[in-house]
Structure 1
Amino acid sequence: MWVRVVIAKCSVDYAGRLNAHLPLATRLLMLKGDGSVLIHSDGGSYKPLNWMSPPCTLSAIEVEPDQAEAGITEIWKVTHAKTADLLVINIHEMFSDTSHDLGVDPGLIKDGVEADLQKLLAEHIETLGEGHTLVRREYYTAIGPVDILARDAMGVHVAVELKRRGDIDGVEQLTRYLELMNRDPLLAPVTGVFAAQEIKPQARTLAEDRGIRCVVLDYDALRGLANHNTLF
């Protein structure tokens, strides 16, 4: 993969599903190896002011005399291969033009996803309360796997549903598990814990109304416990 980064004084016109115009200003132009072209300013956070997604082609077109008199030195035309949308970049002055070979990107590795939370909570099941013990992770039922099955200090089974952000759907999911598991004489009674890094107020209200305990997890604290255990 490669990227070409250009700092230039330019104006930009877009013609497609809607028309848009960027007046003359100094901007960042980014041309990527996947064929995309992005136009950024200092504002707008990470979002480009305008862009063309691949597949598209970029070509330089001849500058007419009247355009040259207006200060245009280069004209780039970016055409989308499927929609025929058109992006025209009129360059008046080029301040920087560099290209870089980025190599092969390994992709985004997410930290703190539900699988990480499940592993850490299983290793530190006492986070749910003193005397809790782990039965198993991914306890399979006829309607799907419960994230964690544990026992509390009294030996009562506890079904734990884990989410990064807990909403009503997660509570409904745990409710279905509990209804099924409490029909099993080898498991019943089974209580529920809805655990997440963040629990929405509506989800908490519904869970508590159904007798489900809510636990907010601190991922960094759990990870710190894991790191501490590996040091000594």
Structure 2
Amino acid sequence: MVVLVSPGLDEARLELGKALEARMMVTMVANCTVSYSGRTGSDIGEGERLIVLKGDGCVLVHRGRDYQPVNWQPSGCVFQTRIEGGRLLVKAVRPSPLETLTIEMDRIEFLSTFNLKDEAEFILHSSEEEMQKAILAEPDLIEQGLRVIDFEKKVAPGFVDVYGVDSQGNTVVIEIKKDPAGAAAVKQLVEYLKYLSPAEGKKVRPIIVAPSLAKGVLPTMEKMKIEFKPLTLQKSLETLQKRMKSDQKALKGWLGDAPSEKS
């Protein structure tokens, strides 16, 4: 374990390189900018942030507020580091789909490296979160052409599970239930719709995603023009497992073809 307080960029890069090569966990507090390129693109200006790099190749960047990272990359990334123009650059490259997260730091307040030991078994209690993750990973589970824009989108009554647009540019609002969806799900979705508007000339499509519908709820849904898309927990878990295996296979192939680089 190494702990550095206010290290210089050269010292920080040296310890960072050692830790990444050894697949250790790294935490840093630094003044940085963050940019992402891949399916879309984003940039975040300078600010003091918590950066976490894990041994499995995932990276998270947190602000000093909110529980969700402001940017992140999943496991399987390849890390590259260098000093350029008085800044320490950390680049996390995900080979498939090709995505790059670049963190540029001009001042590091804290850096620590850990070799964490955790052999505990993870017991999954399936929930709506797995269904949500499956939809985020494979939007075609709902319909072809669906593009996810946001999830857990905050609106006055609560949080929209999945928010996106369809192939025609219509706004899609999805409420997920792991059990047969009933009147409560319909009421919840209707409340969300009061605070959401479509693009000009388009419409809002409310959709309930669940294994099935409770008895007697379909007429109400038809009256409110709420669609139903069936999705089971089992199908969601199978989708996530398939996606994980595909990512691992793509990473192995990419590493086999890529020239070796040292941090």
TM-score (norm 2): 0.43
Structure with larger Rg? 1
Q: Which has the higher contact order (CA 8 A, sep 6+)?
A: 2
TM-score (norm 1): 0.49
Structure number with higher strand proportion: 1
